[in-house]
Structure 1
Amino acid sequence: MYKQVLRLMTICVVSISLIFMLSGVAAAKKVLKLQLVYPKTSSVAANSLFFADKVEKLTNGEVKIKIFYPGQLVKAKEGLTAMKRGMIDGYIGSMLYFAGVIPEVNGEWLPFSWKNVSEAMDIYYNYGYLDIMRKATEKHDCYYVAPISVAKMGLMTKFPINSIEDLKGKKIRAVGMEGRIVKALGGSSVALSGAEQYTALQRGTAEGTDYPWYTLRDYKFFEVVSYVSSPPLHSPGIVEILLNNKVWKKLSSDEKKAVNLAGFLTSIHSANLSEKNDREIIDFCRDNNVKIVELPNEELVKMIKVLKPVYEDHLNSSDLCAEQVETLKSYFNEMEIIHPLF
């Protein structure tokens, strides 16, 4: 579905490019500073650079995105406050750090919410999930540009998970909805930023993490964990491109269209990269002695049972959270897809 939309959006790319080429006198160039919370080796970094390139090209150089890597401007947990105060113009990364303030963020991380990138992109762009998130972030002076897919994501641990009993009391790095999931499964969540978890896993202060599988390779997590639990909790995980709302409103109408289009193209680019990473990581695990442990069906049934209250709690967190859950239900009903948690 999202590939069909991409073909239609090609017309918009040409149209917007022509608008800037034929617009006559150029406006003063705008340089926007965006804090990225992931390292240069991450797939999100690659997608961020793709976004910056598309924005510059689609605005004929009138808007430029400058990417800052972890800690160069602000720390990940400071991102929302920094945007509100105008310290940064935008943020690229997971909003789970802000889930206590923006509960709708957890709706992007509900367990087993979608099973592939096609479903995720369809739900965001054709069934209103992106609009819901824009309503949620607008309340906090932020504009949600686009979702970025970060590949299959789930539990990577120092111990095998053959049953949910194996998680009892285990210290798992998890924030926001991830923490709720870990707690529901009997584990103990450890709230650490992405940059802190390698050392925590190395030292044993964390015994596992809920994180994208491809980081076994790109972050060298294969050095500190030995097992991957399948099925993944998120297929794919989603992080966000955000802009300070004041910065967004200062853009011209044509610039806004260009930035939104760049965001959409980045979503599609990230979906393709996500699928590529998912294919490659299977061979990487085999070649580096990381065992993928498939949860037995009877244990998966138990897991789904204990995770159902997570959906119920989210539904009751706000009107927009309820709208998220209803949107998912409507999508799967319309697609005639049986969803294990509805």
Structure 2
Amino acid sequence: MKNFKGLLFIVSFVFLLAACSADGKEASSEETFTLKYNSAFLPSSQEWHAKAKATEEFARLVEERSEGRIKIDIFYSNQLAGQVESLDALAKGTIDLQNITPVAWGDKIPEGSFTALPYWNINEEHSLYIMRETEIGKLYEEEMEKYGVKMLSYWPASATGFMSNKPIRSVSDLKGLTMNLSGDLLADFYKKAGIGVATIPYAEQYEGLLRGTLDGIQFPFSSLEDYKLGEVIDYITKPATISPALGIVAMSQKTMDKLPEDLQKIIIDTAIEMENEGVAASKRLTEESLIYAQENDVDIINMTKEAYEEMRQLHKTTTWVNFAAKNDRTKKMVELLDGETEKWKKENPEMVKEFEKSFGE
């Protein structure tokens, strides 16, 4: 009888172990994970910035909501992997998370350069609609997935546009100006508009504008304060050429697959929450940048609607065409854009009215 009871205890114990570990969830419920988050950027200067929400706030909330089962170590200024190399590092699982601009991976995932097309968007809500709710965004994210990278979130980085030492009200005002050019996407536009080309690192643009090597740049309006460009810039032009610019947070699919489902959900849900909170933060940053311009003797020029449409059309026949020519998927993205934008405008007339306030008389 004693032997039978002992045998029964052993069998029961084995079954209990099997039940706890059959699907791995119970057995791994206390396992902890430390993730390496590589950012292409410096730390945010304000905790309310969309970039801060996508980085510091995201990491804090994930650790809190996972009750310490996930810890995220952040490394700024591409400390773990260079801007270009970070894509392969992410795919291999060498790093776990990356904050970057889509165009930085444009050579390997051309679809990401879509977000650098001038005048493709008019505000934060429109941008997220295009990237989240249309085939355009799906085409991009599918290519990311093929590379072994999962898109977590977009973060709007406020408006980017013309900043110059001569007023830019229309295409004709661009002729004869020397402007900075990065990459080949805008090369044909520069040529058609009569813009002289300079290739200067972003960190040296202040000096170039100060010395007259540059007459103007296309750069975030927030850099008037952040990079002190308000000291060497006389004019900014609205509407912005990209409104807003977008950053992304991406994750290694290998890392994601290692996590239990409940932790995966925490990461995904928190990333989307930060994406949504970034909308108001981006709008605020643009508004504060315009106020800074006014307070520091930088004139704000409002293009007429006709001048805006002329500028946009020239980009459509140069920059957009160059992007579309990269492959069949980029071609389809461009083909879909205007139709999806018109659909969004019909559903959001108040936002369209707000955008049109940027036009001058």
Q: How does the TM-score come out when normalised to structure 2? A: 0.76
Q: Determine whether 1:171 maps to 2:179.
A: yes
For 1:109, the equivalent position in structure 2 comes to 116
Q: Determine whether 1:235 maps to 2:239.
A: no
Which consecutive residues of structure 2, in runs of 5 or more, have no partner in the other structure?
1-25, 353-361
CA contact (8 A) 1:100 1:176 kept: no
Which consecutive residues of structure 1, in runs of 5 or more, have no partner in the other structure?
1-21
Q: Deviations over 1:147-181 (max 9, x none)?
A: 11011111122332133233235122444646665
Aligned partner of 2:299 among 279, 285, 291: 291
CA contact (8 A) 1:37 1:75 kept: no
CA contact (8 A) 2:98 2:250 kept: yes
Partners of 2:187 and 2:294 lie apart in 1 by 29
CA contact (8 A) 1:229 1:292 kept: yes
1:76 alignment partner, SS class = coil
CA contact (8 A) 1:144 1:242 kept: yes
For 1:273, the equivalent position in structure 2 comes to 281
Q: Determine whether 1:161 maps to 2:168.
A: yes
The structural deviation recorded for 1:267 is 1.0
Q: Structure 1 pair 210/140, CA: closer, same or farther in 2 (3 Å)?
A: farther
CA contact (8 A) 2:160 2:243 kept: yes
For 1:127, the equivalent position in structure 2 comes to 134
Q: Structure 1 pair 290/28, CA: closer, same or farther in 2 (3 Å)?
A: same
Q: Deviations over 1:78-104 (max 9, x none)?
A: 433443455433321212222222211
Q: Determine whether 1:37 maps to 2:36.
A: no
The structural deviation recorded for 1:233 is 0.9
One-letter amino acid of the structure 1 residue matched with residue 292 of structure 2: F
1:241 alignment partner, SS class = strand
Aligned partner of 2:102 among 95, 104, 121: 95
Q: Determine whether 1:28 maps to 2:35.
A: no
CA contact (8 A) 1:173 1:197 kept: no
Q: In terms of Rg, which structure is larger? A: 2
Aligned partner of 1:312 among 307, 315, 321: 321
For 2:52, the equivalent position in structure 1 comes to 46
Q: Determine whether 1:56 maps to 2:63.
A: yes
One-letter amino acid of the structure 2 residue matched with residue 328 of structure 1: L
Give identity over the alignment, percent.
24
Q: Structure 1 pair 307/45, CA: closer, same or farther in 2 (3 Å)?
A: closer
2:243 alignment partner, SS class = coil
Q: Which moved more, 1:31-40 or 1:235-244?
A: 31-40
For 2:159, the equivalent position in structure 1 comes to 152
Partners of 1:292 and 1:84 lie apart in 2 by 43
CA contact (8 A) 2:44 2:52 kept: yes
Partners of 2:71 and 2:286 lie apart in 1 by 31
Aligned partner of 1:256 among 257, 264, 280: 264
